[in-house]
Chain A
């Protein structure tokens, strides 16, 4: 078993740290959260120019070969080094879906987009007000017209970066919105198509990656807008859920590491009762609990990513990991606030911001309860199969 990084991975980590140091200073990040509510174009362009935006995409779109482990390390490092939420991973996942399921013409749209801008290519429209993990409850629907076009109707919600991207990837039921209809298709729709509109939603944290409601009012689509095979939309999307959950964990892990880095640094400098508080056993308990979470999370994350690279499913493993680590990583940020004391509850330090950001990761990509359900079902099924 080899726990060391390759030279490529080490150099990637160095470049990510340099990128973060250059573009994500404390002042710059503050402005991204409080003024821009996003990452400035200049920074997104730099991310593209350094090739990070192309990691893992197929070669047809100028992609750079990368394993799932590479992409996990990239995400963890980026979040640790910047200490903030960025739109890059969500953007990568959407581009990844289009590149994997799209026609040559649709794939070319990704290439054309990245020539113009470093911004994310597309946003994923999945959840609905009445249907989150209960995906069969979705009611957004397309109906075929006599002239061969389709009319799309419905509402999507929690669409991350939905107002800042040129394309939307939408999943909708074919013809019939009822729960019994399991046929769904994916569609790639330009954001400026008539009938598409967005409305901003507020967020507790993660102000750099705002989400929106997206409304589809009788949007006219053609067969060219379809992404992948008709009726297979859900199966196509599901293929990438495991990887998406890995990346949500990697983000949370990186942010938790950033919070702990700050907290230990502070604990070494802060003198109370004549010595650094880092030498106080109760403070060390907080540090140890946090570090343990980070090590456990990292090992399990790398295992899940490695499984994906071997072509194995990590459905149960990543569900357990996401459920556990999004809670424990949140506790790491909570411990960091505790170590900073009163200062931790101000906006003078970033651990409070990280704490707010991390709360969202417990919900993104499926709640902890749904993750436990997925894992529990998979484990029991595996044992039941053996009994037969």
Chain B
């Protein structure tokens, strides 16, 4: 089985700071694997282990500043056999549609014989959760989201989809795009052998094949104004006054 996993590389959100003018300071934020994509990577690695003879190919579409040696080595240390990355600075502000087009370009040229493409629940920066749908539409294959388990049965995939009130079991013909919920698999910790072996695995970084089709533009990003805390303190036993104040604040 040829398993493709889509991975985004984003600035480490722990090190993004709000400047005095409310702009965001990314200067300390190093690129890293988008959080929920780690669950997708683990799901892909486990799925490959369950289906003998499988390979896992990671694909990624990022602005060139996120083409980071450490992040790429990290991807390849988490059960991935090969990485294809397309870079274009327009991807910095690209929406899901444009990103999916770039990913389609990688799939068409590098892994046209894929069986399944696994995406994470959403990216750590935008969290739109749309790339899987856009990518499936572009490739003309079925897609399914919120997947919490998957099993290969012949040329079909049997997946469990966990919703608020029910668990669906669905058969999907392959090839398909699957978006997995974080519950599907706990990301592994990269072991030392994996980290060192990752340097020897094939990786290809190329400029995006076609111009990135940017349909939206970002004019400004500002952190919300911090409202001063009111520091209203309610004494113990004064529960009615407290409830009334909360109710008032919610109006």
Contacts and interface: CB of A to CB of B under 8 A. Distances in A.
Given A12-B195, A15-B195, A7 B189 contact: no
B237 to A, nearest CB: 24
B191 A15 contact: yes
Contacts of A65: 196
A51 B192 CA distance: 5
A8 interface: yes
Contacts, number: 41
B70 A15 contact: no
Nearest to A65: B196
Interface string B52-87: 000000000000000001100110010000000000
A55 interface: yes
B73 A11 contact: yes
Given A11-B70, A11-B73, A64 B189 contact: no
Interface in A24-51: 49-51
A52 interface: yes
A64 B77 CA distance: 15
A234 interface: no
A18 B187 CA distance: 10
B189 A11 contact: no
Contact of A22 (B73, B189, B194, B196): B189
Contacts of B190: 11, 14-15
A19 interface: yes
A55 B73 contact: no
B193 interface: yes
A62 to B, nearest CB: 9
A10 interface: yes
Nearest to A23: B189
Interface residues of A, number: 18
Given A8-B195, A8-B196, A64-B196, A15 B189 contact: yes
A11 B191 contact: no
B73 A54 contact: no
Contacts of A18: 189
Given A7-B69, A11-B195, A64-B196, A50 B189 contact: yes
Given A10-B70, A11-B195, A12-B195, A19 B189 contact: yes
A266 to B, nearest CB: 20
Contacts of A7: 69-70, 73
A289 B86 CA distance: 48
Interface of B: 69-70, 73-74, 77, 189-196, 199
Among A22, A50, A54, find the residue whose CB has the most chain B CB atoms closer than 10 A.
Answer: A50
Contacts of A55: 192
A68 to B, nearest CB: 16
Contacts of B192: 12, 15, 50-52, 54-55, 64
Contact of A51 (B73, B74, B191, B199): B191
B126 to A, nearest CB: 24
A14 B70 CA distance: 11
Which 3 interchain pairs have the tightest Cβ spacing?
A51-B192, A50-B191, A7-B70
13 contacts: A7-B73, A8-B196, A10-B70, A11-B73, A11-B190, A12-B192, A12-B195, A15-B190, A15-B191, A15-B192, A50-B189, A51-B192, A51-B194
A49 B69 contact: no
B77 A11 contact: yes
Contacts of A64: 192-193, 196
Nearest to A70: B192
A136 B70 CA distance: 50
Among A11, A14, A49, A54, find the residue whose CB has the most chain B CB atoms closer than 10 A.
Answer: A11
Nearest to B77: A11
A72 to B, nearest CB: 15
A146 B194 CA distance: 52
Nearest to A49: B191
A334 to B, nearest CB: 30
A11 B74 contact: yes
Contacts of B73: 7-8, 11
B193 A51 contact: yes
A354 B193 CA distance: 32
A175 B241 CA distance: 87
A234 to B, nearest CB: 33
Interface in A138-197: none
A336 B77 CA distance: 38
Contacts of B69: 7
Contacts of B193: 51, 64
Contacts of B195: 8, 11-12, 15
Nearest to A18: B189
Contacts of A14: 74, 190
B68 to A, nearest CB: 9
B75 to A, nearest CB: 11
Given A14-B74, A14-B190, 18 more contacts: A7-B73, A8-B73, A11-B70, A11-B73, A11-B74, A11-B77, A11-B190, A11-B195, A15-B191, A15-B192, A18-B189, A19-B189, A22-B189, A49-B191, A50-B192, A51-B192, A51-B193, A52-B192
A277 to B, nearest CB: 18
A49 B195 CA distance: 13
A8 B190 CA distance: 11
Nearest to A62: B193
Interface string A341-359: 0000000000000000000
Nearest to B187: A18
A51 B77 CA distance: 13
